[in-house]
Structure 1
Amino acid sequence: MQQTNETELTYFVIKGISDDPHLQLPIFILVFFIYVVTLGGNLTILLLVIIDIKLHTPMYFFLANLSIMDISSATVTQHKILAIYLTKNRTISYLDCMTRVYFYSSVTASELLMLSVMSYDRYLAICKPLHYSASASIISCVFLTFACWILGFLQVIPYIILLSNISCYRSNLINHFFCDLTSVMKLSCSNIQALEILILTEGLLMLNLTPCLLTFIPYAFIIISILKIKSISGKQKAFYTCSSHLTVVVILYFSLGCQYLKPVSKDSQMSDKLLSFLNSTVVPLLNPLIYSLRNRDVKAASVKIIKCFFRSDFSRA
Structure 2
Amino acid sequence: MDLTNCSRVTEFILLGFPHFQGMDIFLFVVILLLYLLSLTGNGLIIVIMTVDHRLQKPMYFFLSNLSIIEIGHTTVFMPKMLVNFLSAKNTICFHCCMAQSFFYFLFGVTEFFILSIMSFDGYLAICHPLRYPTLMTSQVCLKLALAAWLAGFFSVIFQVLKAVRLPFCSSNIVHHFFCDVGALLKIAGGGDTKIIEALGFAVAVAVILSSLLLTVVIYIFIISTILCITSSSGQQKAFSTCASHLTVVSILYGSVLFIYLRPSVKGSSLGNNIVSVLNMIVIPVLNPFIYTIRNNEVKDALRKALGRKTFAVSKSL
Map 1:109-258 → 2, pairs under 5 A:
109-191=109-191, 192-205=193-206, 207-258=207-258
1:14–1:173 Cα contact (<8 Å) kept: yes
Q: CA deviation at 1:214?
A: 2.6
Partner SS, residue 197 of structure 1 = helix
Gaps of 5+ in 1: none
Q: CA deviation at 1:93?
A: 1.0
Q: CA deviation at 1:199?
A: 2.2
Q: CA deviation at 1:18?
A: 3.0
Per-residue CA deviations over 1:201-254 (Å, capped at 9, x if unaligned) read 23211x212222232221111011011112222111110011101111111111
Q: Aligned pairs, how many?
A: 312
Letter in 1 for 2:212: C
Greater shift, 66-75 or 159-168, is seen at 159-168
Greater shift, 13-22 or 95-104, is seen at 13-22
CA distance, structure 2, for counterparts of residue 63 and residue 265 of structure 1:
32
Q: CA deviation at 1:143?
A: 0.9
Gaps of 5+ in 2: none
* Alignment-derived partner of residue 291 in structure 2: 291
2:46 pairs with 1:9:
no
* Alignment-derived partner of residue 301 in structure 1: 301
2:26 pairs with 1:40:
no
Q: CA deviation at 1:311?
A: 2.0
Q: CA deviation at 1:168?
A: 4.5
CA distance, structure 2, for counterparts of residue 45 and residue 167 of structure 1:
43
Calculate the TM-score normalised by the size of structure 2: 0.94
* Alignment-derived partner of residue 74 in structure 2: 74
Calculate the TM-score normalised by the size of structure 1: 0.94
1:18–1:24 Cα contact (<8 Å) kept: no
Using a 3 Å threshold, how does the CA distance of structure 1 residues 7 and 50 change in structure 2: closer, same or farther?
Answer: same
CA distance, structure 1, for counterparts of residue 78 and residue 182 of structure 2:
17
Letter in 1 for 2:72: S
Per-residue CA deviations over 1:46-71 (Å, capped at 9, x if unaligned) read 11101111101011011011100000
Per-residue CA deviations over 1:124-174 (Å, capped at 9, x if unaligned) read 110000011001111111111111111111110121122223224541111
Give the % identical residues.
38
Letter in 2 for 1:62: F
2:27 pairs with 1:27:
yes
Per-residue CA deviations over 1:99-146 (Å, capped at 9, x if unaligned) read 110111011111110001111110011000001100111111111111
CA distance, structure 1, for counterparts of residue 194 and residue 137 of structure 2:
45
